[in-house]
Structure formats: structure tokens, C-alpha cells
């Protein structure tokens, strides 16, 4: 592209420079032009005309030849001079065919017309610098000529001076006394007067050269000095017109006007001047037309004024004349050219180059912009790419991080899965195997080992009370401690499982006989002999163990578990703390817990519950002191049910609250009635479950029962098991205190089986201690130690408590207790718990036997 532009530029430059040179036409036979000047070379008027002629001819396309002659008529206006010129030209041009004769001013035209036929082969004549009067004189009846008239215009010049200085008054006209001087001067005088008759018009043709200068130096500001044809002084001497003009200008207080342009550059201000050069140019154009074939006679003489308002810039400055005062189309010479005027062409070229450069620049800028845009786009793309790259890197990092996370998660998953596996098969509290383990792993073992072994179902006795009374925290700790102990029995063939709550299972795979199983059950029990120290509590725990043998009692976990559970319930029914083997008879005897729950309410409304009463005998007198109310349930569906079979279920279901209140109320009403009838003061002991005691309105219930039955509070004793008292919250203790204040007695039941802390009992206002049958049984056992029983009685008495021995069956036991000052005894020795009718018979019998 740049290359193309450079070539274009070069072509344009070549075109511009070549246009400077005229293209010459092909050379044919040259045309001859003779220029005859009236005056001499160096006379500016003449030189200007010549220069104008040459300039017009220069554009001629044909081949021509110019000869120039000077008649020197200004300096030598003589016949001799003319004759010499004649001779000279005759010798020069008699053999040359002239095509056009050009004459400047009158003398030359006169000469040419006179000798044209003789010397210049009758060539057509073109003149200039001749006025109409002069032409009329010279041409007479001549033809075949044409030319440019020289029309002086003093009128315009005077008017211009008037415009510059409207106060113009005096007009001084300078001319010589030659023929042409006088005629010119007269023309100016007439013209000035014609313009305004107020003008003082004064000719200075009678003054000497220095006189004129002297005169002019003294004119006032409202004067106009007009120089016309002044070449000869009053003495007839030729004068240097230019030097004269300069001298005049130097001494004049006003600008000097002129009629001809040759005064310019010599101190003359200007005027509507005849321009010699224009005269020449016009004449040159006419010559051109003739040379190109036109007839001179057919070309009209140009009478149009070849004048031009021309003023000298320097003089304008000198007299402080504003340009605006000059006529409109004035030409100002010597004006310092503006740069454009001086170097117009150069300026155009430079301008063109500049424009070219600008276009170049614009193109370049366009391309630069395009490149910039592309660069920007590239850099934007690059940025985008970088960003993308960064994003990709980030994504890669993210992916890597995610991969690491995934790997970590995988490891974690493996850990979790093994943890889960552990969790799935283990109990969270104790860390022992759980029910799922039993059902999945043990089940599998059973199938594999052709099913030989035993399942031990272990249930803690009274654990519910521990939990309720001492709090779950302690319950949990106890379970953990029990687990730890039982783990001693765990081995590869003995799996210890916690089923949930207070239920544990041992599955032993290598037990082949009932004897071995019994041995193992004993081992389990042994671990419970030693009390547990949990959170500053000294707890004695017993367990009920049900045993199911494999394959005799079942060959899968479900059956074995169900049967062992049944066997365990048998232990509970028998008073807890022991073990029992499952057998098929047991199966029939066992109660359906669900049935019991459903039958409770119906049982109560259908009077299926009955209270049995067992007498308590005063050891010293054998008199009946009172009775313990013991509940029985005759269910048509389930048969006769001892309390151990349903009390715990009633507690679990909450039914004990209704049942307990019914027992309390029935017992109180009955004993009141009995006392009324027998005129006695029998006491009544009623067993109270912990669930009842925890009831908010328990005290109110008791009070209401006493009010309703009108039984004296002193005759009512509430039996609360040791475990309840020991772990009871302050609230329970408070309730007991309230009951005591009313006068109700409180007996601590089953004393010795649970948490033997007698010192603790000091804080609880109990009235009675009931020594558990276990201790009483020991009395008749020669191997056992009765120290504990002795200590209980002793300590109880020291605490002012009434001591009651439970389960007294033998005379031996009675004697021992009597000896050891046990206050009362209760047991089969005297009477089993009896229904009301039998009881009353018994009372009568007893009265008969003992007298009271």
C-alpha cells in the first residue's frame, strides 16, 4: 500500500514540475515579428511595453522570430536619427519577410506606416502607446493595422485623490513644454476644472526643474501634485524623469500622483495609471491573432483603457494613507508580500504534500487504529485465554482438592464403615455386642456349629427402681460396671450381649449339659455378690437368669431367646435373684404380658382383684398386731396371678397408680370395718410402689383415703422397699415426712436385700424395718452367719425402729427372733396371706389359741 502511495506521489510531483515548462510546437517555418520602439532601451515605458509583448508572444504555439529596433526619439527627435534608422533597418530587413510590425508609441508607428511598403513587405502593423488623436494624425488613410490605444485618465486619478483627501483644493500639474507635454498638461487642467470649478488648478510648465521642486516643497496639505509627461526642462534639456520624481517626492509634503506607471518605484504615489506592460501584452495578443491567420484590418483597435489604479505601498505608509481610502480594485505595489503571495506555488506544493501527508497519516492512523484494535482484540483474547487458563488451573486445583477430599472421604468411609460395622454390632453404652450381633453372628454360629450350646437371659432385679429413684445417669454407670464384671466370663465361645435396658445375654457355644450350664449360671450370679460402688453409692444388685439349651429348647436365636426370657420370668415370679431352666410346662404357665396389660382395667371393673391379708404377730405376746395387705388377681382368662407376675407390669404401664389407690382404699375401709366389728385396733400395712410415691398428689390421696375410711392414721403403715427409700429424691423424703407428721407409720420393706446403708436411714423418718426373708432363711441354715440379722435388729432398735421379720416359717426362726428381741414376725408359721373370710376365721382361731 505504502509503495503504491509513494509511486502516486512521485507521478503527481512530476506532473506539477512539468507544467512549468511550455510545450513547444513542432518547428515549422518561423514567423517574423519586428518590434519598433519609439524610444530607447532602458526607458522604462518602452521596456515595460516590450516585456508585455514578449510575455504574450511567449504563449504562441508556432515558431516565430522577433527583431527589436529602438528609434531613440525621446533623446534624438531628429530627421537624421530617423534616416539612420531607415538605413539601418533597410540593410537589416530588406531580405526578410516580416509577418507583423509592432510599434510602440507614435514615432515608431509613424516610421512603420511610412516605410512599411518599402522595408517591411507591407506587413500588418500592431501598435500600442498611441492615443486616439495621435493615431488620427499618423494613420490618415492607411489600412492593414490594428493596435492598442493609450488613453490617459486624469479624471479617475483626480477623483481618487479627492477620495483620499476630501479637502483637496489645489491641483498642481507638472508637464514639459513639448508637444505631447502641453497636450497632456492641458488635458489634465481641463479635466480637473471639469470635476470641480472650486479647484485651484495650477500648471507648473513655466518653472525650472528646481523651481518646481522648490514650489512643491511648500504646498499645503490640501494639495494634489500630478506629474504627467515631463522629460524636458524649460531650457530644452532632457531630464532624468526618474530622478526628478524622486527629488520631487522627497521634498513634497503631499503624495505625488502620476498618469503613467513608469513613475512608480521612484517616489510616485500612483493613480489610475497607464500600464506600459498591459499595453504591450494587449498588443502582443493582437499580434498573436494575426500570426495565427487573422487579418489585421478585421481586428478592431482596442480602445478600452489599459489603465489600472496602482499605488505604492511605501508612499501609502509615508503619508499614512489607509488602503480603505483607495479605489476598490487598486493594485498595491511594493507591498511586502505575504508568505502565500511570495511562495504561492511552493505553498500549493507544500499544501499538496501536506494534504498528501495528512492522507498518508490518516491512512496510517486508520491502519494503526486497525492494528491497535486487533492488538486490543488479541490482548483481550489473550486476557480471556489467561483467565481461562487461570480458571482451568483453579478448576484443576479444585478438582485435585476435590480428589483429595474424595480420597480422604474414601478413607473416612472405610474407617466409618468399620466403625459402623463396630457400631452395628456393639452397644454404645457398654461396648458389648448388641441384639443385631446376636441375631446375625450368633445365629450364624448356631447354624454352623450344628447347634450345641446355651443361651443365658440375664435380667437385673429391681433395676427399674434404680433408674427411677437414683437417676438414669447412675443407672447407666451401674450397667457399665456390670458389663465390665460380666466381661470376665466372656471368651471366644462365650459371647456377652446387651439386649437393651437391664437385659444381658450370654451365649455359650460349648455347653453340652445342663450341669455345665448351671455351673455357668452360678458363675454369673457370683459376680453380683460384691456390691457396686457407683457415684458414691454402695449398690447390691441381684439378677434373674433364664436358661435355654440348644438344641433342646430351640435351634435358632429367636426361639432360644424367647424361651430363656420365659425362664427368666419364672425366676422373677419366684422372687427374683436366681436362675431357671426353660421347660415346656413353663411355657404353658407363662403369662402373656400383652394379655395382662389388656386385662388390667377389665379386671378392676370386674372385681377380679382381691386383697389377702397376712397377720403380723407381736413376738413377745403372740397377739395379732395388724395385717399386711397383699394383692391377688383372679383372672378368668389367666387364672390366679400372684403379685410378682403383674406388679412390675402394672408399674411399667402406670396402672399401679389406679390399682395402688384401690388397694389402699379397700384395705383401709376393710380394717376400719374389721376393727369396728371386732372392737379391735388392728393395724394395716399397705405396700406402696415407687411409682405411686412419685405421684404429685400421693399425700393427698392418702389423706383423702383416711378421711373417707375414717381410719386413724396411727393404724396405717405404708411399706416402701429399701431401694425406693435409698435412691429417693428429696421430694420423696419430704412426702414421707409429711405422712409421718399426720401419724402414718412407714415401714422399710425387704430390708437387707438392697442398699444396706443404715446410717443413711437416720435422715428418713421411718418407723419400721422389715427384715427380708433371705436373712430369716439364714437363721435355720446352720452354715450361714446370722451376724447381719443380729446387727440389723440391734441397730434398728437403737434407732427406735420397730423390727419385723418376714417369711418366718419355723419355730426355730421364731425362737431366734424372740431371743434377739425382734418386735414382730410375719410368716407362714402363723398364717399365709388370707382372703377376708378366711382371715376373720383365723382371727377367731388365733384368739382362741392365744387369748387375744
Give the interface with ligand C2E as residue ranges (CB under 6 A).
614, 629-631, 642-644, 647, 663, 687, 689, 749-750, 806-809, 826-828, 833
Assess 462 for contact with Ca ion (CB under 5 A): no
The angle at the Cα of 236, spanning 232 to 239, to the nearest 5 degrees, equals 35
711 binds, among Ca ion, ligand C2E, none (CB under 5 to 8 A by kind): none
Helices (H), 751-786: 758-761, 773-780
Q: Give the up-direction half-sphere exposure of residue 764: CA atoms within 13 A in the CB hemisphere.
A: 28
Least Å distance, CB 565 to ligand C2E, is: 21
Q: Are 242 and 261 in contact (CB under 8 A)?
A: no
Nearest to 767 by CA among 734, 718, 805, 731: 718
C-beta closer to ligand C2E: residue 727 or 833: 833
Question: Are the beta carbons of 577 and 597 closer than 8 angstroms?
Answer: no
Residue 514 CB, nearest distance to ligand C2E (Å)? 26
Distance CA 343, CA 345 (A): 6
Work out how close the CB of 614 gets to ligand C2E at its nearest, in angstroms, rounded to a whole number: 6
Q: Which is nearer to ligand C2E, 578 or 642 (CB)?
A: 642
Cβ–Cβ < 8 Å for 843, 624: yes
Partner whose footprint covers residue 267, from ligand C2E, Ca ion, none (CB < 5 to 8 Å by kind): none
| Contacts to Ca ion from residues 257-316, by CB under 5 A | none
Q: Which is nearer to ligand C2E, 77 or 578 (CB)?
A: 578
Residue placing its CB nearer to ligand C2E in the complex, 72 or 749? 749
* By the rule CB under 5 A, 722 interacts with Ca ion: no
DSSP code of residue 71: -
Stretch of 474-482, 587-595, 687-695, 832-840 lying at the interface with Ca ion (CB under 5 A): 687-695
Shortest distance (Å) from residue 627 CB to Ca ion:
11
Compute CA 433 distance to the chain's CA centroid, rounded to the nearest angstrom.
56
Of these partners, Ca ion, ligand C2E, none, which one is at the site of residue 809 (CB under 5 to 8 Å by kind)?
A: ligand C2E
Strands 768-771 and 802-805: parallel
From Ca ion, ligand C2E, none, which one binds at residue 531 (CB under 5 to 8 Å depending on kind)?
Answer: none
Q: Taking the alpha carbons of 261, 263, 264, 269 in that order, is the dihedral positive or negative?
A: negative
Q: How far is the CB of 839 from ligand C2E (least distance, A)?
A: 13
Nearest Cα residue to 615 out of 812, 804, 830, 776: 830
First to last CA, the chain: 148
Look-up: residue for cell 414421707? 736
For the CB of residue 749, give the shortest distance to ligand C2E in the complex, in Å: 5
Q: Cβ of residue 700: shortest distance to ligand C2E, in angstroms?
A: 19
**How far is Cα 557 from Cα 436, in angstroms, rounded to an integer?**
11
Q: Does 651 bind Ca ion (CB under 5 A)?
A: no
Return the number of the residue (307 or 802) whose C-beta is nearest Ca ion: 802
Q: How far is CA 475 from CA 141, 485, 539, 541, 628, in A?
A: 168, 15, 11, 12, 31
In terms of C-beta density within 10 A (0-12 exposed, 13-18 middle, 19 or more buried), how is residue 676 classed?
exposed
CB of 833 to ligand C2E, least distance (A): 5
Question: Which of Ca ion, ligand C2E, none is residue 647 near (CB under 5 to 8 Å by kind)?
Answer: ligand C2E
756 makes contact, choosing from Ca ion, ligand C2E, none, with CB < 5 to 8 Å by partner type, with none
213 contact, one of Ca ion, ligand C2E, none, CB 5-8 Å limit per kind = none
Closer of 146 and 826 to ligand C2E (Cβ): 826
Among 719, 722, 778, 823, binds Ca ion (CB under 5 A): 719
CB of 717 to ligand C2E, least distance (A): 12
- Report the residue number, 93 or 646, with the smaller CB distance to Ca ion: 646
Looking at 248-256, 377-385, 608-616, 685-693, which segment touches Ca ion (CB under 5 A)? 685-693
Which one of the spans 187-195, 313-321, 517-525, 744-752 is the region binding Ca ion (CB under 5 A)?
744-752
Question: Of these partners, ligand C2E, Ca ion, none, which one is at the site of residue 608 (CB under 5 to 8 Å by kind)?
Answer: none
In degrees, rounded to 5, the angle at the alpha carbon of residue 666 between the alpha carbons of residues 665 and 670 is 120
Least Å distance between CB 575 and Ca ion?
9
Question: CA–CA separation, 714 vs 698, rounded Å?
Answer: 18
List, in order, residues 6 or more apart from 550 with CB less than 8 Å away.
Answer: 446, 451, 452, 453, 454, 455, 560
**Whole-number Cα distances in Å, 683 to 521, 629, 675, 748:** 42, 10, 9, 16
Choose the binding region for Ca ion from 162-170, 278-286, 375-383, 803-811 (rule: CB under 5 A). 803-811
833 binds, among ligand C2E, Ca ion, none (CB under 5 to 8 A by kind): ligand C2E
How many residues line the site for Ca ion (CB under 5 A)? 5
- Pair 192, 154: CB distance under 8 Å: yes
Shortest reach from residue 509's CB to ligand C2E, in Å:
37
For 148, other C-beta atoms within 10 Å of its C-beta total: 27
Among Ca ion, ligand C2E, none, partner that 146 touches (CB below 5 to 8 angstroms by kind): none
535 binds, among Ca ion, ligand C2E, none (CB under 5 to 8 A by kind): none
- The one-character DSSP state at 30 is P
Q: How far is the CB of 806 from Ca ion (least distance, A)?
A: 5
Partner touching 188 among Ca ion, ligand C2E, none, CB below 5 to 8 Å by kind: none
**Nearest distance, CB of residue 828 and ligand C2E, angstroms:** 3
Closer to Ca ion by Cβ: residue 554 or 827: 827
Binding site partner of 158, from ligand C2E, Ca ion, none, Cβ cut-off 5-8 A by kind = none
766 contact partners, CB below 8 Å, separation of at least 6: 725, 736, 746, 747, 748, 801
Q: How far is the CB of 809 from Ca ion (least distance, A)?
A: 14
The entry of Ca ion, ligand C2E, none near residue 828 (CB within 5 to 8 angstroms by kind) is: ligand C2E
CA angle 368, 373, 375 (to 5 degrees): 90
CA R_g for the chain: 82
DSSP 8-state code for residue 304: S
Q: Coil, strand, or helix at residue 450?
A: coil
DSSP string, 412-480: HHHHHHHHHHHHHHB-TTT--B-HHHIIIIIHHHHHHTTS-EEEEEEEETTHHHIIIII-HHHHHHHHH
Count CB-CB contacts under 10 A for residue 305.
16
Torsion of CA 171, 177, 182, 184, to 10 degrees: -70
Compute the least distance from the CB of residue 631 to ligand C2E, in Å: 4
What's the min distance (Å) between Cβ of 719 and ligand C2E? 6
Cα 455 to chain center, whole Å? Answer: 69
Residue 663 contact partner, candidates ligand C2E, Ca ion, none, CB within 5 to 8 A by sort of partner:
ligand C2E
Least Å distance between CB 776 and ligand C2E? 8
Contact window for Ca ion (CB under 5 A) among 104-112, 250-258, 619-627, 804-812: 804-812
**How far is the CA of 467 from the CAs of 147, 470, 544, 698, 825, in angstroms?**
155, 6, 17, 20, 32
Closer to ligand C2E at the Cβ: 135 or 732? 732
Q: Which of 247, 648, 687, 709 binds Ca ion (CB under 5 A)?
A: 687
Asked, as a colleague might, if the bond just before 551 is cis with ω within 30 of 0, I would say yes
Q: With CB cut-offs between 5 and 8 Å by kind, which of Ca ion, ligand C2E, none does residue 813 bind?
A: none
* 3 state SS of 550: strand
Q: Are 752 and 792 in contact (CB under 8 A)?
A: yes
Q: Which does 625 bind (CB under 5 to 8 A by kind): ligand C2E, Ca ion, none?
A: none
- Binding-site member from 722, 749, 778, 823 for Ca ion (CB under 5 A): 749
What whole-number distance in Å separates Cα of residue 73 and Cα of residue 65?
A: 25
Q: Give bridge partners of residue 175 from the DSSP assignment.
A: none
Q: Using CB under 5 A, list all residues that contact Ca ion.
A: 687, 719, 749-750, 806
Amino acid at each position: 500500500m505504502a509503495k503504491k502511495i509513494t509511486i502516486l506521489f512521485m507521478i503527481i510531483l512530476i506532473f506539477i514540475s512539468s507544467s512549468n515548462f511550455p510545450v513547444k510546437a513542432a518547428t515549422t517555418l518561423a514567423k517574423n515579428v519586428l518590434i519598433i520602439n519609439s524610444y530607447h532601451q532602458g526607458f522604462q515605458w518602452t521596456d515595460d511595453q516590450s516585456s508585455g509583448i514578449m510575455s504574450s508572444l511567449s504563449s504562441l504555439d508556432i515558431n516565430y522570430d522577433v527583431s527589436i529596433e529602438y528609434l531613440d526619439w525621446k533623446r534624438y527627435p531628429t530627421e537624421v536619427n530617423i534616416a539612420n534608422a531607415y538605413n539601418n533597418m533597410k540593410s537589416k530587413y530588406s531580405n526578410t519577410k516580416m509577418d507583423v510590425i509592432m510599434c510602440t508609441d507614435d514615432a515608431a508607428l509613424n516610421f512603420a506606416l511610412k516605410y512599411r511598403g518599402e522595408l517591411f513587405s507591407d506587413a500588418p502593423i500592431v501598435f500600442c502607446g498611441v492615443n486616439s488623436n495621435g493615431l488620427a494624425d499618423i494613420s490618415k488613410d492607411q489600412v492593414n493595422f490594428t493596435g492598442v490605444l493609450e488613453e490617459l485618465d486624469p479624471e479617475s486619478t483626480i477623483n481618487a485623490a479627492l477620495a483620499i483627501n476630501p479637502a483637496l483644493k489645489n491641483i498642481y500639474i507638472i508637464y514639459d513644454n513639448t508637444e505631447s507635454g502641453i497636450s497632456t498638461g492641458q488635458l489634465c487642467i481641463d479635466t480637473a476644472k471639469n470635476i470641480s470649478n472650486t479647484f485651484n488648478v495650477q500648471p507648473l510648465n513655466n518653472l525650472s526643474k528646481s523651481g518646481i521642486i522648490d514650489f512643491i516643497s511648500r504646498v499645503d496639505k490640501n494639495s494634489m501634485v500630478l506629474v504627467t509627461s515631463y522629460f524636458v526642462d524649460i531650457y530644452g534639456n532632457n531630464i532624468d524623469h526618474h530622478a526628478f520624481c524622486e527629488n520631487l517626492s522627497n521634498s513634497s509634503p503631499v503624495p505625488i500622483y502620476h498618469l503613467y506607471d513608469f513613475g512608480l518605484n521612484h517616489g510616485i504615489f500612483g493613480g489610475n495609471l497607464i500600464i506600459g506592460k498591459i499595453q504591450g501584452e494587449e498588443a502582443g495578443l493582437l499580434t498573436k491573432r494575426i500570426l495565427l491567420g487573422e487579418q489585421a484590418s478585421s481586428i478592431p483597435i482596442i480602445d478600452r483603457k489599459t489603465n489600472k489604479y496602482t499605488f505604492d505601498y511605501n508612499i501609502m505608509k509615508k503619508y499614512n494613507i489607509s488602503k480603505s481610502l483607495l479605489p476598490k480594485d487598486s493594485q498595491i505595489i511594493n507591498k511586502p508580500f505575504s508568505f502565500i503571495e511570495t511562495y504561492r506555488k511552493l505553498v500549493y506544493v507544500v499544501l499538496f504534500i501536506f494534504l498528501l501527508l495528512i492522507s498518508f497519516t490518516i491512512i496510517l492512523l486508520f491502519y494503526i487504529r486497525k492494528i491497535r484494535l486487533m492488538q486490543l482484540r488479541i490482548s483481550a483474547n489473550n486476557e480471556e485465554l489467561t483467565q481461562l487458563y487461570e480458571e482451568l488451573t483453579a478448576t484443576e486445583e479444585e478438582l485435585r482438592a476435590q480428589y483429595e477430599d474424595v480420597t480422604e472421604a474414601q478413607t473416612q468411609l472405610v474407617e466409618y464403615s468399620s466403625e459402623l460395622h463396630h457400631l452395628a454390632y456393639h452397644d454404645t453404652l457398654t461396648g458389648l455386642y448388641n441384639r443385631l450381633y446376636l441375631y446375625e453372628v450368633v445365629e450364624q454360629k448356631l447354624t454352623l456349629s450344628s447347634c450345641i450350646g446355651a443361651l443365658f437371659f440375664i435380667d437385673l432385679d429391681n433395676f427399674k427402681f434404680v433408674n427411677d429413684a437414683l437417676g438414669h445417669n447412675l443407672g447407666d454407670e451401674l450397667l457399665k460396671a456390670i458389663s465390665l464384671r460380666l466381661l470376665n466370663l466372656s471368651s471366644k465361645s462365650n459371647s456377652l450381649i446387651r439386649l437393651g435396658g437391664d437385659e444381658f445375654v450370654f451365649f455359650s457355644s460349648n455347653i453340652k449339659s445342663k450341669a455345665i450350664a448351671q455351673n455357668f449360671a452360678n458363675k454369673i450370679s457370683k459376680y453380683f455378690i460384691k456390691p457396686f460402688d457407683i457415684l458414691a453409692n454402695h449398690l447390691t444388685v441381684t439378677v434373674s437368669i433364664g436358661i435355654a439349651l440348644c438344641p433342646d429348647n430351640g435351634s435358632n436365636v429367636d426361639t432360644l431367646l424367647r424361651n430363656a426370657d420365659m425362664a427368666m420370668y419364672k425366676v422373677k415370679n419366684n422372687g427374683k435373684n436366681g436362675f431357671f431352666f426353660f421347660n415346656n410346662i413353663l411355657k404353658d404357665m407363662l403369662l402373656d404380658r400383652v394379655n395382662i396389660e389388656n386385662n388390667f382395667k377389665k379386671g378392676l371393673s370386674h372385681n377380679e382383684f382381691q386383697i389377702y391379708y397376712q397377720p403380723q404377730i407381736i413376738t413377745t405376746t403372740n397377739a395379732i398386731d395388724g395385717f399386711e395387705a397383699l394383692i391377688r388377681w383372679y383372672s378368668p382368662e389367666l387364672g390366679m396371678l400372684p403379685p410378682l407376675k403383674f406388679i412390675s407390669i402394672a408399674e411399667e404401664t402406670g396402672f399401679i397408680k389406679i390399682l395402688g389407690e384401690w388397694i389402699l382404699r379397700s384395705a383401709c375401709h376393710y380394717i376400719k370395718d374389721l376393727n369396728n366389728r371386732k372392737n379391735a385396733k388392728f393395724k394395716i400395712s399397705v405396700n406402696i410402689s415407687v411409682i405411686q410415691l412419685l405421684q404429685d398428689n400421693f399425700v393427698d390421696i392418702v389423706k383423702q383415703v383416711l378421711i373417707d375410711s375414717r381410719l386413724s392414721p396411727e393404724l396405717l403403715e405404708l411399706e416402701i422397699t429399701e431401694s425406693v427409700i435409698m435412691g429417693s429424691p428429696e421430694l420423696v423424703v419430704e412426702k414421707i415426712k409429711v405422712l409421718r407428721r399426720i401419724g402414718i407409720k412407714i415401714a422399710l420393706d425387704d430390708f437387707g436385700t438392697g442398699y444396706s446403708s443404715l446410717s443413711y436411714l437416720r435422715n428418713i423418718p421411718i418407723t419400721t424395718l422389715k427384715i427380708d426373708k433371705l436373712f430369716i432363711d439364714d437363721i435355720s441354715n446352720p452354715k450361714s452367719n446370722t451376724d447381719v440379722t443380729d446387727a440389723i435388729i440391734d441397730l434398728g432398735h437403737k434407732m427406735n425402729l420397730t423390727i419385723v421379720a418376714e417369711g418366718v416359717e419355723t419355730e426355730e426362726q421364731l425362737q431366734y427372733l424372740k431371743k434377739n428381741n425382734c418386735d414382730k414376725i410375719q410368716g407362714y408359721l402363723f398364717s399365709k396371706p388370707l382372703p377376708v373370710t378366711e382371715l376373720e376365721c383365723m382371727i377367731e382361731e388365733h384368739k382362741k389359741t392365744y387369748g387375744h
